[in-house]
Homo-oligomer: A and B are copies of this chain.
Amino acid sequence: MNVPDRRPLRVAILSIGDELVLGTALDTNSRTVSIAVRDLGHDPVEHRTVADRIGPIVAAYRELAAHADVVISTGGLGPTDDDLVRDALNAIIDDGAPMVEDPVAVGDVEAWFAGRGRPMAAINRRQMMRPCSARIMRNPNGTAPGVACTIGAARVYAMPGPPREMVPMLEAHVLPELRAPGAPALVRIGCATFGIGESQLAERLGHRMARDREPSVGTTASGSVVSIHVVTRGPDAAARAERELAECAALAAPWAFGPLESTVAEATVRTLRESGATLAVAESCTGGLVGAMLTAVPGASDVFPGGWIAYANAMKERELGVPGATIAAEGAVSADVALAMARGAAVGAGARIGVALTGIAGPGGGTDAKPVGTVWIAVHDAATGAGRARRFEYPGPRETVRDRAAKTALQLVRWHLRGEDAPVIWERT
């Protein structure tokens, strides 16, 4: 069922769920599918979202199949009565004839429960059914197999909604059938930066960001990480994109830390490993977030023995050796306390580097001198016995302050080990 010619396919994307139409949840699947489809050189032409009701689902499949070559849907293959995708497709393609139990689906769903030592609920048997004229797409990550069929001339792929089930199914079953052999695939690569603003970065990239330039260069911002995207297609696309990206990344040094979708923590773990260094943390306002980011990286144990969550001042004093007099004189949110915490962490854990954060994440606790968002971050290097503390003022709610502070700490450790330095957009000197 491969695509015979190189004409881009018109792809309509349907998401199904009351929670999406009602606004209880945000649809992110349609975007994921659009990007994947576009990377194959096809044209996403419409997104549509309908509720978990049979009439609108049937109408949406019919209408989209009438004007698109491919319809990809997400959502609504679960075991409950709310999940009507199988019924809708069955009504369209088999006039509502009795569905059949699919032996592969039976095996997969039974194995899924057996592998988890959990009893299968009776309603899960619904998930083993498919319309006679459809085939299933296996789901190793959940109990809902996908369904593939045709409506008129359109190919239809129905996948479950949870992204951790949908994305692997998209990659394993849908995209391979849409990939035209020899099609000039679009090459999309990029790098991620942290600590520089999107407009500052755009100024550094300058003319490279001009519209209709080839390769095209753009930026996006998400969770304070600003990414650079290089997109091109045609002959030598990969080589040209790589060259362009290398030049962009040089302009974005040292804020650029790694490829798209990579994390600052991954870059910091890599740098620690390259430097043969270990890192301990002492976290007050971030409360474990830096450790959580580091240990999200598989194999972080090579370079990260652990650390302290010193949320209370008593923990800072007793466990990290911060002098009570310093806290009394300077306040817990101060350069000296951050430095003492960083030193205490490095020494206590026997690590080369200690990084410490102390600040006011909000919403309460701010003062004129130390407003909400104020965070001191210190890096101590046991190899030299020297430390450096820097002061930041992060705008935004508690969650944003903590996230940005944690990522800043990781970036500062990375820069220290690489002998790099640069201003950070939220720094207050």
Interface residues of A (CB under 8 A from B): 18-28, 30-35, 38, 44-51, 56, 63, 78-82, 115-118, 121, 123-124, 141, 162, 164, 188, 197-200, 202-203, 209-211, 218-222, 229, 281, 283, 285-292, 294-296, 298-301, 304-312, 314-315, 319, 348-350, 361-364, 393, 395-400, 402, 425-426, 428
Q: Besides the contacts A118-B425, A164-B400, what 11 more A-B pairs have beta carbons closer than 8 Å?
A: A18-B218, A21-B34, A25-B31, A30-B49, A116-B426, A117-B428, A121-B203, A288-B309, A298-B362, A306-B310, A306-B311
| Distance of A269 from chain B, by nearest CB (Å) | 12
Name the one of B38, B79, B290, B295 contacting A286, with C-beta atoms under 8 angstroms.
B295
List the B side residues contacting A47 at CB < 8 Å: 20-21, 27, 47-49
Is B31's CB under 8 angstroms from A23's CB?
Answer: yes
Residue of B nearest to A26 (CB): B31
A397 to B162, alpha carbons, bound, how many Å? Answer: 14
Candidate in A33, A117, A291 with the most chain B CB atoms within 10 angstroms: A291
Dominant SS at the A interface? mixed
List the B side residues contacting A63 at CB < 8 Å: 63
Candidate in A20, A285, A311 with the most chain B CB atoms within 10 angstroms: A311
List the B side residues contacting A28 at CB < 8 Å: 26
Is B211's CB under 8 angstroms from A82's CB?
Answer: yes
Residue of B nearest to A299 (CB): B364
Is A295's CB under 8 angstroms from B306's CB?
Answer: no
Assuming the A-B contacts A121-B200, A312-B301, are A81 and B220 also in contact, with contact meaning beta carbons closer than 8 angstroms in the complex?
no
Is A315's CB under 8 angstroms from B309's CB?
Answer: no
Residue of B nearest to A19 (CB): B220
Assuming the A-B contacts A81-B210, A121-B203, are A23 and B51 also in contact, with contact meaning beta carbons closer than 8 angstroms in the complex?
no
List the B side residues contacting A23 at CB < 8 Å: 30-35, 38, 44
| Distance of A108 from chain B, by nearest CB (Å) | 14
List the 7 shortest-distance A-B pairs measured between CB atoms, nearest first. A287-B295, A288-B291, A288-B288, A23-B34, A47-B49, A305-B312, A23-B35
| Distance of A426 from chain B, by nearest CB (Å) | 8
Assuming the A-B contacts A51-B45, A209-B80, A398-B298, are A350 and B288 also in contact, with contact meaning beta carbons closer than 8 angstroms in the complex?
no
A259 to B34, alpha carbons, bound, how many Å? Answer: 34
| Distance of A280 from chain B, by nearest CB (Å) | 9
List the B side residues contacting A117 at CB < 8 Å: 393, 428
List the B side residues contacting A209 at CB < 8 Å: 80-81
Name the one of B26, B50, B301, B309 contacting A291, with C-beta atoms under 8 angstroms.
B309
Name the one of B19, B305, B307, B311 contacting A314, with C-beta atoms under 8 angstroms.
B305
Is B306's CB under 8 angstroms from A312's CB?
Answer: yes
| Distance of A199 from chain B, by nearest CB (Å) | 4
A25 to B51, alpha carbons, bound, how many Å? Answer: 23
Candidate in A44, A309, A402, A426 with the most chain B CB atoms within 10 angstroms: A309
List the B side residues contacting A124 at CB < 8 Å: 199
Is A292's CB under 8 angstroms from B292's CB?
Answer: yes
A149 to B408, alpha carbons, bound, how many Å? Answer: 40
Is B21's CB under 8 angstroms from A44's CB?
Answer: yes
